[in-house]
Amino acid sequence: MSELPEWMYPPRIEGWFAEDLDRLPQAPSHTELIDGALVFMMSPQRWWHGELVTDLVIALRGRVPEGSRVGREMTIRLDKRNRPEPDLIVTTAEYEPGRTQFAPNEVSLVVEVVSPESAHRDRVVKLRKYAEAGIPHYWLIEEEDGLPVVHAYELDANVSAYAPAGIFRKRLERPVPFPVDIDLTALVPAPRAKRAAD
């Protein structure tokens, strides 16, 4: 069994802390911190995932209110032992070129696109952690027959948990966190066989 590189060993018995991520240039891009443990995106990213995130960023940029920005693949410092990296966020933070993270109170919407290796974290772990941190809206996007399906959640602040707000196929229409009306079928290219059948 080969030994791990020195940088992969946590600097303390409690594991890694959120600020440690900024001091790990050796870590692969898209490294997250969940409960004090480093989580790496180890499998290759699927083209479907990348197209969906890019097209959703473009769609949302035209809809966010003044004072908000859409960003992708930036971490949120939920607490000292948790700094996940969602696929997309809507933030009220001022643009700072060197910034590497956001605070939960600067984020109005988090979007995670589920992939096989992240399914449990996205559906269970992050669902709970984002809610406990007070982030008002969470969209979980699953793939169904090559098309995105959005599971929307809203924060119930009384219990610090998300309540389901709807499952959206083909079209996403929501009044919050800002008015949204998006043709979900346009976010990814249709498979050739499907295009021919239409």
Q: What is the pTM of this model?
A: 0.90
Domains, the chain, ranges and CATH?
47-197 (3.90.1570.10)
Rg from Cα positions in the chain: 18
Distance CA 133, CA 111 (A): 15
120-142: pLDDT as tens digits: 999 999 999 999 999 999 999 99
Residue 1: per-residue pLDDT: 54
